[in-house]
Amino acid sequence: MPAVEEIQEFLPNLDCGRCGLTCAEFAGFLLTRELAPEDCPVLHEPDYAGFIEALHELLGQPTVQAAAGMQIDLEKCIGCGICVAMCEFHLGNCADARLGKGPRPQDKVIFHIVNGGAVVVHQERCTRLLQAAEKCSKCAEYCPTKAIVLF
């Protein structure tokens, strides 16, 4: 499964809002297959020829829907970072998140707080996806605004 950052390399990164989302959010929806590369109006412009095909190649065939995933409602999220501090993956892999600080860009994390909202950057690292969907739900459990929905 590609990372959101890899997908973003093939998006315009203009945050023009014509699809109703920022490019980072659009990339997240591409990853969960709720949107397709064709849904970005800017990618149909001649300057971005070949990007849609490259995204299809990167995303691969939509064979298996993720067994478990998460969705973040950015209208509710206040960017407090409780999900970053409570995530079990971060506990073992990110010293800054353990201490309550924000992770650095090079850190191995699942969430990042970007522009005041939580963004999933590497969903493939989530414990729920890998092994124990029923065991970890700390990000949603402690979210004070109930912005994270697990499925």
Partner 1 sequence: MEARIESAICPGCACLCDDIDITVVDDRIYQAANICLWGASKFLAHKRFHPKKERRRLQQPRIKQGCLWQTVPYEAALKRTAEILTRASRPVIYGLTNSGSWAQEAALDLARSTRARLEPADLAFKAPYYRSLMKHGLFWASLDVIRDEADTVVFWGANPLHSCPRHVVRYSVFARGKFTERGLEERRLAAVDVYRTELAEFVKLFIRLEPGQEPALVQGLLAALTGGKPPAIRGLRRLAALLEEASYGVIFFGRGVSYGPAQELLDGLGELTARLNRGSPFIFFPLTADFNSTGLYHLLLRELGSPLAPDFGHDLAGTGQAEPVAWSEVDAVVVVGADLFWFLSQEEIDRLKKRQVPVVALSPFANRTTGHAEVVIPVALAGVETPEIAYRMDGLPLFLPKIVSTHLWSDSRVLRELTALL
Interacting residues with partner 1 (CB under 8 A)? 74-75, 77-82, 84-86, 96, 98-105, 112-117, 142-145
Distance CA 22, CA 50 (A): 21
Of 65 and 106, which has the nearer Cβ to partner 1? 106
**Token couple for 69:** 């995933």
Question: Please, which residue, 59 or 117, has the CB nearer to partner 1?
Answer: 117
* Shortest distance in whole angstroms from residue 45 CB to partner 1: 20
Q: What's the min distance (Å) between Cβ of 144 and partner 1?
A: 4
- 115 sits in the region (left: phi over 0; alpha: psi -120 to 50; else beta) called left
- Of 66 and 150, the one with the shorter C-beta distance to partner 1 is 150
48 burial (CB, 10 Å; 0-12 / 13-18 / 19+) is middle
Helix (H) or strand (E) holding 113: strand 111-114
Between 48 and 142, whose beta carbon lies closer to partner 1?
142
Closest distance to partner 1 from the beta carbon of 12 (Å)? 13
